[in-house]
Amino acid sequence: MSAPPEISVVIAAVNEPELLRDCLQALDRQAPSGTIEVVIANRWGAAVSALGKDFPSVVVVDTPDMTIPQMRAEGLKKTRAPLIAFLEDHTNVVPTWLPAMRRGHETPAAAVGGSVTNGCFTAVDWAAFFVEYNEHMTPMPAGEARSLAGNNVSYKRTAIEACGDLFYRGLWETFLHAALAEKGMGFRCEPGAEVIHAKPFSFSHFSEQRWHLARSYAGMRVRGFSLGRRLFYAAASPLLLPLLTYRVVRRVRARPGFGYGAALLKCFPLLLFFLSIWTVAEFVGYAFGEGDSSLKVV
């Protein structure tokens, strides 16, 4: 068997194959052949398998009827490198991404990531970007971090192995990172480990996705809780709208000079609408569970 690569990258393919093609091309430009191993967890079937012919070093794992966290877990099983990164199929790494990840993992940090830059610019796209990535938008402070974006994060294999089956339970990264923090494992943001979010959204599509992701998250969060505790979380969920809005505004104001302020004014009514959807969907997830929403997140 050939020597293991330097880093394995796991990508859940749930969006249009052309977005995935751009993602793979950006990874191809990072380093010499054999340095990066790419494992694609494939929900698209033949369309992604055909794309694999243009990228012969890519490993494709068929994962029909699985949630994105389950797809990532299946892809993880096929990796060989000492470092494992997770990207989304619509995130394109910048040229400094791999050196920055290397540099970050020279520290004791268990998880290393970087910022997310918006690559789509309609009002809907800006609202979607602020809703999803306000905590991790470019620039981010270098060094120790409290959280990392799930679409731009890498882990030491030793850290994954120290967590037993945690990474194979089909959980969103929010829950994985909380468990790592409980074990005293550190997170690091590394300058240059940046990705560009390249998926354009329609109003209807993003509205639907907000609903399913929020209900999925809330349902996972209260798995195993008593009915009383679930109802307590549901009753508190209306507080989310002012809290989430405040966080977005505060983080935009903390990054003057990057055009975020003007973009936020442009999309603010849409932002409030999408955050309202999230608030209601969390209520439903706490009260009634995740339903089939986890399977509908793309």
Domain spans in the chain, listed from the N-terminal domain onward: 7-197, 203-296
For the residues 22-47, what does the mean pLDDT come to? Answer: 89
Does 199 have pLDDT greater than 80? yes
When mean pLDDT is compared across 51-65, 99-113, 137-151, 235-249, the lowest value belongs to: 51-65
Pairing label, strands 7-13, 36-42: parallel
For the residues 60-84, what does the mean pLDDT come to? Answer: 96
Cβ(213)–Cβ(297) below 8 Å = yes
Is 137 exposed, middle or buried, given 0-12, 13-18 or 19+ CB atoms closer than 10 A?
buried
Cα(113)–Cα(195) distance, integer angstroms: 10
May I ask the CATH class of domain 7-197?
alpha beta
Question: Which helix (H) or strand (E) segment is 296 a member of?
Answer: helix 293-296
Kindly state the DSSP code that residue 119 receives in the 8-state scheme: -
pLDDT band at 1 (very low <50, low <70, confident <90, very high): low
For the residues 35-57, what does the mean pLDDT come to? Answer: 86
Question: How does pLDDT run across 5-34, given as a tens digit for each residue?
Answer: 999 999 999 998 999 999 999 999 987 777
pTM: 0.95
Closest CA to 96 of 75, 72, 117: 117
Question: How does pLDDT run across 260-283, given as a tens digit for each residue?
Answer: 999 999 999 999 999 999 999 999
Sheet containing 111-113, strands listed edge to edge, beginning at the edge strand earlier in sequence? 59-62, 36-42, 7-13, 83-88, 152-156, 111-113, 187-189, 143-144
Cα(292)–Cα(289) distance, integer angstroms: 9
Kindly state the DSSP code that residue 187 receives in the 8-state scheme: E
Does 149 have pLDDT greater than 70? yes
For the residues 82-107, what does the mean pLDDT come to? Answer: 97
pLDDT value for 32: 78
* Averaged pLDDT of the chain: 95
